[in-house]
């Protein structure tokens, strides 16, 4: 690890020492504001909490156009079932394994802490020459780009934006999908528990999960989908009642775990065990090596939930049917770009609330806004058929690519000069803040790139260390190219 890489990773480690789940970025924002104050860099924050730090130009670059370095302060907070990590208190612990850095059974936070670490290191390094810089650090990106959606347009002055939130070095992203979340609520009824029933705990676990946009086309299972299939299979051999159910954690991660407590007649227990074993074998065949740690388990409940009733048989069937009917995964591939997902949705979270409302969150994405409306309408139609209420929230626009972008041409030339090859130029099936910022600031020329990160939004997230210095070298030469 060279000196520059070490400095960047050290700054990432400092950032990761500060808890920063979505909506809890205040401590990190104050930490950056204090750092800026020590260097007499002007700072501003808007009402949403977004932070802008203005870094003066190097001598000779004062007349060059201002360049915005942009990333988000929050991270997806996911951990393995055996982890005791407290995201509200504990620092993320970095684990080095050869050329890769990961975390100890949690998400790493390189998405998007690496952008903040690179920006801070660039501002601290007096050997780097650059035009006026604006370090724009947004909040609440992972909850639906909410910081960017509520950005005060006057927070930044620049019209050139480098979004450091893509996850494959050597790839320039110039467009992204739009998104829409839909929350479904089905009112159900619980009945008093008859005596003599068995209480059974059903779990689906060990799945890889991943980013609900970038990884949605990969052979990865949704725990929520597998839970629905298993419950349906059990209900075919014996009447069951759902006591509780919960799966998934956030809108933009594929559900890795799901758990349900159900009631069943004791005499059918062996039959239920057989069904669960058959489901486990079926799922293992379907997903193969892509989900090598997949587990579907059934255990008699340690506590029998005395006095706690289950959903009625009819409402249990309604809940299972609704889950099965809702789409999950790729809906349509792009007709313009090979191997690019155009439209998809993620059956993100499911939970039976304390008031016996079954709540489901679906997250839709599409590069074509009419297709986004189409799949959202389909989800509403399924909800209507189930007599459930569906409410849309947290929508954001697609970022339309521009191959004529002056920034893109400059970036391609700098990359070619620096590394002797052309970068890949693409659009992605994920949401980026560029779409919202561009709509809010007409004339903004934008590009997204970053070091290589695998498995974001899951505890398997890892950062490829050699890619960090390549991104550093690219940014340094790009900024130097603006000399006047």
Which of 134, 141, 181, 291 does the annotation list as catalytic?
141
Paired with 453 in beta bridges are 463
Nearest to 466 by CA among 449, 484, 448, 453: 453
Exposure of 58 in the CB half-sphere (CA atoms within 13 A): 18
Distance CA 260, CA 377 (A): 29
Strand ranges inside 57-117, DSSP E: 67-72, 94-97, 100-103
Phi and psi (nearest 5°) for 155? Answer: -70, -35
Nearest to 429 by CA among 330, 327, 347: 330
Nearest to 163 by CA among 137, 189, 200, 145: 137
Distance CA 365, CA 245 (A): 26
Rounded (5°) CA angle 74-78-81: 160
- For residue 395, the SS3 value is strand
Q: What tokens appear for 156 in the block?
A: 């930044």
Which of 25, 46, 74, 315 does the annotation list as catalytic?
74
Q: How many C-beta atoms lie closer than 10 Å to residue 34's C-beta?
A: 10
Answer left, alpha or beta for residue 105, where phi above 0 means left and psi between -120 and 50 means alpha.
Answer: left
Per the annotation, the verdict on 141 as an active-site residue is: yes
Distance CA 410, CA 8 (A): 25
- Among all chains, which residue has been given the structure tokens 């130097």? 480
Rounded (5°) CA angle 103-108-109: 155
All residues at 6 or more sequence positions from 402 whose CB lies less than 8 Å from its CB, including other chains: 174, 408
Per the annotation, the verdict on 47 as an active-site residue is: no
Strands 310-311 and 341-352: unpaired
Active site residue ranges = 74, 141
């Amino acid at each position: 690890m060279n000196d520059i890489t070490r400095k960047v990773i050290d700054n990432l480690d400092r950032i990761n020492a500060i808890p920063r789940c979505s909506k809890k970025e205040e401590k990190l924002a104050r930490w950056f504001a204090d750092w800026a104050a020590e260097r007499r860099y002007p700072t501003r924050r808007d009402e949403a909490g977004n932070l802008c730090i203005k870094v003066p130009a190097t001598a000779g670059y004062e007349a060059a156009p201002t360049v915005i370095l942009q990333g988000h302060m929050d991270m997806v907070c996911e951990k393995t079932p055996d982890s005791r990590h407290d995201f509200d208190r504990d620092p993320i612990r970095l684990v080095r394994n050869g050329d890769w850095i990961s975390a100890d059974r949690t998400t790493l936070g390189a998405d998007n802490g690496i952008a903040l670490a690179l920006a801070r290191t660039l501002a601290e390094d007096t050997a780097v020459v650059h035009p006026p810089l604006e370090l724009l650090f947004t909040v609440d990106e992972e909850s639906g780009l909410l910081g960017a959606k509520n950005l005060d347009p006057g927070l930044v002055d620049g019209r050139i934006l480098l979004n450091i939130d893509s996850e494959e070095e050597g790839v320039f992203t110039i467009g992204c999908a739009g998104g829409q979340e839909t929350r479904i609520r089905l009112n159900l009824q619980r009945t008093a528990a008859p005596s003599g029933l068995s209480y059974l705990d059903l779990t689906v676990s060990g799945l890889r999960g991943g980013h609900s946009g970038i990884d949605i086309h990969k052979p990865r299972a949704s725990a929520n989908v597998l839970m629905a299939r298993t419950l349906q299979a059990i209900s075919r051999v014996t009447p069951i009642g759902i006591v509780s159910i919960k799966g998934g954690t956030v809108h933009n991660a594929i559900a890795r775990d799901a758990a349900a407590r159900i009631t069943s007649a004791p005499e059918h227990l062996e039959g239920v065990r057989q069904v669960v074993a058959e489901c486990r074998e079926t799922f293992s065949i379907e997903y193969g090596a892509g989900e090598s740690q997949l587990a579907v388990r059934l255990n008699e409940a340690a506590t029998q939930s005395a006095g706690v009733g289950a959903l009625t048989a009819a409402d249990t069937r309604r809940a299972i049917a609704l889950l099965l009917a809702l789409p999950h995964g790729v809906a349509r591939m792009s007709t313009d770009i090979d191997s690019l997902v155009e439209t998809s949705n993620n059956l993100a979270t499911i939970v039976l609330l304390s008031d016996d409302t079954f709540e489901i969150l679906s997250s839709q994405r599409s590069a074509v806004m009419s297709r986004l409306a189409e799949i959202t309408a389909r989800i509403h139609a399924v909800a209507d058929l189930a007599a459930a209420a569906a409410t849309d929230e947290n929508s954001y626009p697609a970022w339309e690519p521009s191959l004529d972008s002056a920034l893109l041409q400059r970036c391609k030339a700098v990359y070619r000069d620096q590394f002797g090859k052309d970068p890949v130029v693409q659009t992605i099936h994920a949401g980026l803040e560029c779409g919202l910022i561009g709509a809010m600031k007409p004339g903004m020329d934008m590009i997204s790139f970053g070091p290589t990160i695998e498995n974001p939004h899951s505890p398997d997230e890892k950062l490829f260390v050699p890619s960090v210095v390549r991104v550093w070298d690219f940014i340094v030469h790009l900024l130097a190219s603006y000399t006047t």
